Structure 1
């Protein structure tokens, strides 16, 4: 099994990059080519159900499936060591890559990452068969779904920015299908963050947690299980909202090469 990817930049270092929900490798990481293309050759993957990888039909994406994909990819491309970057949903795949290949990774850039903790809405929508059935039904009846979203906002489970973001990524039947497949298929990608951090330390991996000061979608509490473990210099807070955070991260990563 292979995922489609875009090759960006021409630098001597290798970066594997994993995008967010509703994106693809180019739409998420094109700015990395502009800022980091001299430092990195960037392999920006189209994750399952996104971009030209939409033909992959899996009900469940396990850590072992992911490890085999990356194992085959690095072997085919003669890659011995690499850095990784994961934005939002892509954070789950970055964490899974750390677990599978700690000896090959030097730097991990987790950008407003998913997977550090689990939002209550995601838990309810994916962890149980009844919840998945209700989630599937709601994706087919979007008017009802958005009424529920507004109700959750009113009791504080969702904020205004998250509701607006949700409307944007779910405004067509195709997008709703992508979100449903992604959320449910990626549910096996769960992590013991202290164990991941311990593994990273044992293998001299530098994990950089990068968040946006003005990001309304990611609450800082969601990444606290990781942020409290990292050295202060690896907790990076940029003057950015959610949509510009990847671009701003590229600029910041450049400072590591100075």
Structure 2
């Protein structure tokens, strides 16, 4: 474990694990920490030494001196580059790979934009960032959506009711409902959701540029989607997939909750 002291941002905490020698920077999904990928012990972790970062408002990562106004304005995407630059200061400038699950995929994709010539592989699981997700777009960028999000954050009953309705119309499955409910059952947890999604709202990769760089630099690209994922489904990412020359694309019989032993077993048993 360690920290990257990122000027103008704060201390980004990371976890180190994995049996491989090749470095990989990894970014988890909402409500988890940089340890999320430890379950991939027989697949990804056999090849890579992971540096799994805690998002801010998760784990031990802490913003330094940020006001609520700054948080709600969003973290400038240029600060993503500072993650890598500070990591280079600690471990030396070298080739590396990136991995992201759900909202963490945005950071992985931006790092490809910035460091394509140094990246060996990108692994994305149920990724945000490959298409515009209308729900987040409304909550983050539409005036009435921002107002609703703030009201839901302050209310003890609105958030649970909204989640229940999303489950009833099968927008989210039972497992995602349980996880999400456990993240909004206190005022502090709801506030963390509110701050997290606002902080990362500007971290949107240029997918056309990313695809061009992946092809140009022959970056190995693995994409994994859940067949029953209504949050970030494969169909939304089809234009991006079509623009890649040699992507390895998998659709597994799972929902959005992908980073599990089941996925580890799936990856281990892929034909060589």
Normalised by the size of structure 2, how large is the TM-score? Answer: 0.81
- Conserved in 1, the CA contact under 8 Å of 2:56 and 2:62? yes
> How large is the Cα RMSD of the aligned pairs?
2.8
Residue deviations 1:204-234 (CA, integer Å, cap 9, x gap): 2122111123445433333223233335761
Residue 10 of structure 1: how far off its partner (Å): 3.9
Matches for 1:28-67 after TM superposition, within 5 Å: 28-33=36-41, 35-56=43-64, 57=66, 59=71, 60-67=74-81
3-state SS, counterpart of residue 60 of structure 2? helix
Unpaired stretches in structure 2, ≥5 consecutive residues:
1-5
Match of 2:171 in 1: 158
Query: Can you list the C-alpha shifts for 1:134-176, whole angstroms capped at 9, x where unaligned?
Result: 312211104123434555667x693454555432332222321
Task: Report the equivalent of 2:120.
Answer: 106
Larger proportion of helix:
1
Q: Structure 2 CA distance, aligned partners of 1:53 and 1:124?
A: 27
How big is the shift at 1:253?
Answer: 5.2
Unaligned runs of 5+ in 1: none
Q: How many residue pairs align between the two structures? A: 256
2-structure distance, mates of 1:183, 1:191:
16
Partner deviation per Cα, 1:75-105 (whole Å, 9 max, x = no partner) = 3211401111100111111111111111111
Hey, what does 2:182 align to over in structure 1? 168
Question: Is 1:236 aligned to residue 250 of structure 2?
Answer: yes
How far off its partner does 1:17 sit? 0.8
1:87 aligned residue? 101
Q: For residues 12 and 225 of structure 2, what CA distance do their matches in structure 1 show? A: 27
Structure 1 residue 246, shift from structure 2 partner: 4.7
Shift of the alpha carbon at 1:248? 4.4
Residue 18 (structure 1) aligned to one of 23, 27, 31: 27
- Pair 1:137-2:145 in alignment: no
Counterpart residue number, 1:3: 12
- With the length of structure 1 as denominator, give the TM-score of the two structures: 0.85
SS across alignment from 2:157: helix
